[in-house]
């Protein structure tokens, strides 16, 4: 059922809420003299909170194609809207007492943040390649601005430039792929393209188009070999923005990757919950190899890092590799595992970055040596950080373990043993560098024995993020159910 | 060799295009190589000037362009595109009706907020 423009508006409320908030933020920035006023943060919190409520309030299970088939409103899109909004919410809190952002306009920062969020809403729900491209750019361009937000700081500018050059190349290659797809099938609707691709014979052009599109998506989720921008951008960007980049655009990238490849290059199998390839092009094999390479490169390069932000950047590359395992299984259980892992990853990764922000505010450093003795200087932050890092490793009883169990179970269930072995070896390797940070915190002497003050808000947020990280490791059933409910995508 | 030639379909209408392409390529590359090989070479100061004939250059050709031009160019692009959207709307104004009017009003309003922002930030001033 295609809805017209006017009929679509009632189902487009989360996006409208974010848009109105952005416009109000611009007005606020123009109207007020006090650039560091917390009004911008509060306004953004209200806007994003409204977007979450409006997304959650949409009737589940009923899929609609809005704006003549430009974007879809289905369980899958709603899941990602809530997920990315939650990430934005935490990042807004994180930015409140960031020392890096001191003296810079709060309103402008939040305009970029919410513009990225709006782009991600559209990216997760777009069902038309033109819309898909536009929303991908809408995620990318404000991200460049966020990365370079510390104007005058060399690293930040470097991050922005590298991000722009990589992003422009990747999206250029991707839109070339789209143009080939359009030429082959004569439609911009991904469902139409899927039907045409399935009925026509496999051609080299189709393979080429699929690979080119995969470049664009691979860049967004920072999969090897399109990951080179990631560590430099993460290191140079302001830490709260880095935390945002490491979770939200990656989640939106996975959303569009799953929706696009499952609609265009796969058809539902006669067995419910399974898909089969629509053409001779074996893209799951291509992505399984990319997945194995991504996690291996991420984990092995992370071993050598001394800067904690860079370490977490490589760790986030490795986690994209783990999540790709669920994507290539061509089953709804695999997608469910990816969605569940993204929820878990949201809490543990944002939590880890929260501690990095805290320490870099206090010590002006992000090296592992700056974390030494944190166990005695700020016990709460150190314990929370250890929880997040062990959860990222995938050690029980933390939620990262359950996330990995879902992924591994599906990989083994589908009989792709080599991938499971690679992932298991990688998890062991990752323990080394995560534990290195924990060792510095608890076993090494602090450079400065004085206590490290933890602001009340930061402490509270750390606990808020640590509780689900632990709780989802022992009682995960509700989130797993939400994830499995959200797998249903509409295809017209 | 004859085996290969036997597979070529000379009656294909595009065969002539292929021949044209080959001849054009051979001629253009050939003339460049020929002038390289046969042409006289006399190098002097005038030969290496920016213009061999005409007025002598009196400033270096590489001039620094003020970064302010980029800001103006980007703003121009934005509002130029706005007009691109406004024209087809104006042509179809009657058939689009009230809904089209409100939709365009929202669009212009959003751009207006952007203009206000650019104005307030001093992007329109040339200090």
* B42-95 per-position pLDDT tens digit: 888 777 776 767 777 677 778 888 888 888 899 999 889 999 999 999 999 999
Q: Degrees (nearest 5) of the Cα angle B71, A108, A27?
A: 90
- Minimum Cα–Cα distance from B102: chain A residue: A6
Question: Within 13 Å, how many C-alpha atoms sit on residue A337's CB side?
Answer: 28
pLDDT tens-digit profile of B29-57? 999 999 989 988 888 877 777 676 777 76
Q: Which of B74, B117, B119, B120 to mutate to test the interface with A (most CBs of A within 10 A)?
A: B117
For residue B60, what are the CA distances in angstroms to A435, B43, B55, B56?
60, 22, 14, 11
Number of other CB atoms surrounding residue A219 within 10 Å: 24
Q: Find out whether A208 and A180 touch, Cβ atoms under 8 Å.
A: yes
Residue B60: per-residue pLDDT: 77
What pairing do the DSSP bridges indicate for beta strands A266-268 and A275-277? antiparallel
Residue B3: per-residue pLDDT: 67
pLDDT tens-digit profile of A15-63? 999 999 999 999 999 888 777 778 899 999 999 999 999 998 876 556 8
Q: Find out whether A356 and A308 touch, Cβ atoms under 8 Å.
A: yes
Residue A212: per-residue pLDDT: 93
In the predicted structure, residue B1 carries a pLDDT above the cut 70: no
- Minimum Cα–Cα distance from A9: chain B residue: B103
Inter-chain contact A30–B116, Cβ cutoff 8 Å? yes
Name residue, tokens 């006289």: B40
pLDDT tens-digit profile of A177-202? 999 999 988 899 999 998 888 887 66
Averaged pLDDT, A142-146:
95
b/e per residue A70-88 (b: at least 16 CB within 10 A): bbbbbbbbbbbbbbbbbbb
Averaged pLDDT, A373-402:
93
A346-350, A405-409, B75-79: which range is least confident on average?
B75-79
Inter-chain contact B120–A30, Cβ cutoff 8 Å? yes
> Which among A308, A292, A332 has a CA at the least distance from the CA of A427?
A292
First to last CA, chain A: 8
Q: Which of B113, B115, B121, B124 to mutate to test the interface with A (most CBs of A within 10 A)?
A: B113
Which distant-in-sequence residues (6+ apart) come within 8 Å of B24 by Cβ? none
Q: Does A5 touch chain B (CB under 8 A)?
A: yes
pLDDT tens-digit profile of A76-124? 999 999 999 999 999 999 998 888 888 888 899 999 999 999 999 999 9
What six digits make up the tokens of B102? 């409100």
- pTM surpassing 0.95? no
User: Mean pLDDT for chain A?
Assistant: 91
Averaged pLDDT, A267-291:
86
Please give the share of chain A, as a percent, with pLDDT higher than 90: 68
What six digits make up the tokens of A389? 């890092």
DSSP symbol at A274? B
Inter-chain contact A27–B120, Cβ cutoff 8 Å? no
The full DSSP string for A11-64 is G-HHHHHHHHHHHHHHHHHHH-S-TT-THHHHHHHHHHHHHHHHHHHSPTT--E
Which pLDDT band, with edges at 50, 70 and 90, does B10 fall under? confident
Q: What is the CA radius of gyration of chain A?
A: 22
Q: Find out whether A88 and A244 touch, Cβ atoms under 8 Å.
A: yes
Q: Find out whether A79 and A483 touch, Cβ atoms under 8 Å.
A: yes
Nearest to A26 among B99, B103, B113 (CB): B113
Q: Does A29 touch chain B (CB under 8 A)?
A: yes
First to last CA, chain B: 73
Distance from CA of A393 to the nearest CA of B (A): 45
ipTM entry:
0.77
């Amino acid at each position: 059922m295609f809805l017209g423009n006017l009929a679509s508006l009632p189902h487009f409320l989360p996006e409208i809420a974010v848009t109105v908030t952005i416009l109000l933020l611009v007005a606020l920035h123009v109207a007020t003299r006090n650039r560091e006023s917390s009004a911008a943060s509060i306004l953004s919190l209200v806007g994003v909170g409204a977007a979450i409520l409006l997304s959650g309030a949409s009737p589940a299970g009923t899929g609609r194609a809005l704006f003549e088939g430009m974007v879809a409103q289905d369980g899958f899109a709603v899941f990602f809207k809530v997920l990315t909004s939650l990430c934005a919410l935490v990042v807004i809190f994180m930015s409140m007492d960031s020392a890096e952002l001191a003296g810079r306009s709060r309103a402008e920062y939040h305009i970029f943040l919410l513009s990225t969020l709006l782009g991600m809403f559209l990216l997760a729900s777009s069902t038309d390649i033109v819309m898909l491209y536009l929303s991908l750019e809408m995620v990318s361009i404000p991200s460049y601005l966020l990365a370079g937000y510390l104007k005058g700081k060399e690293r930040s500018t470097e991050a922005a430039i590298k991000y722009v050059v990589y992003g422009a190349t990747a999206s250029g290659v991707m839109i070339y792929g789209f143009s080939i797809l359009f030429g082959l099938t004569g439609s911009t609707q991904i469902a139409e393209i899927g039907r045409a691709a399935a009925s026509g014979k496999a051609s080299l052009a189709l393979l080429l188009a699929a690979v080119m599109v995969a470049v664009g998506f691979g860049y967004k989720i920072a999969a090897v070999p399109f990951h080179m921008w990631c560590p430099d951008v993460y290191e140079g960007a302001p830490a709260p923005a880095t935390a945002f980049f490491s979770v939200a655009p990656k989640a939106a990238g996975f959303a569009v990757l799953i929706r696009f490849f499952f609609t265009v290059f796969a058809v539902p199998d006669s067995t419910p919950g399974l898909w089969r390839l629509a053409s001779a092009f074996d893209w799951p094999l291509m992505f399984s190899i990319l997945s194995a390479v991504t996690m291996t490169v991420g984990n092995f390069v992370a071993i050598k890092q001394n800067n904690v932000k860079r370490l977490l950047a490589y760790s986030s590359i490795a986690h994209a590799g783990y999540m790709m395992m669920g994507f290539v299984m061509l089953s709804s259980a695999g997608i469910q595992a990816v969605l569940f892992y993204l929820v878990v990853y949201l809490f543990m990764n944002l939590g880890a970055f929260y501690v990095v922000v805290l320490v870099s505010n206090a010590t002006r450093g992000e090296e592992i040596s700056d974390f030494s003795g944190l166990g005695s200087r700020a016990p709460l932050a150190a314990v929370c950080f250890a929880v997040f890092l062990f959860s990222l490793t995938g050690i029980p009883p933390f939620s990262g373990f359950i996330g990995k169990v879902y992924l591994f179970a599906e990989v083994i269930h589908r009989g792709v043993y080599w991938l499971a072995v690679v992932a298991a070896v990688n998890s062991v390797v990752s323990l080394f560098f995560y534990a290195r940070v924990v060792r510095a915190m608890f076993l090494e002497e602090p450079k400065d024995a004085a206590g490290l003050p933890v602001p009340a808000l930061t402490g509270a947020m750390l606990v808020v993020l640590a509780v689900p990280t632990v709780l989802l490791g022992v009682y995960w059933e509700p989130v797993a159910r939400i994830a499995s409910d959200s797998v249903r995508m509409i295809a017209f | 060799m004859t085996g290969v030639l036997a597979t070529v379909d000379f009656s294909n209408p595009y065969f002539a295009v292929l021949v044209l392409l080959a001849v054009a390529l051979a001629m253009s590359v050939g003339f460049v190589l020929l002038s390289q090989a046969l042409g006289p070479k006399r190098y002097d100061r005038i030969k290496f000037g920016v213009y061999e004939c005409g007025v002598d250059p009196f400033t270096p050709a590489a001039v620094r362009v003020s970064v302010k031009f980029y800001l103006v160019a980007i703003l121009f692009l934005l509002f130029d595109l706005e007009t691109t959207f406004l024209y087809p709307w104006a042509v179809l104004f009657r058939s689009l009706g009230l809904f089209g009017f409100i939709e365009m009003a929202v669009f212009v309003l959003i751009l207006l907020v952007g203009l206000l922002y650019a104005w307030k930030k001093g992007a329109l001033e040339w200090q």
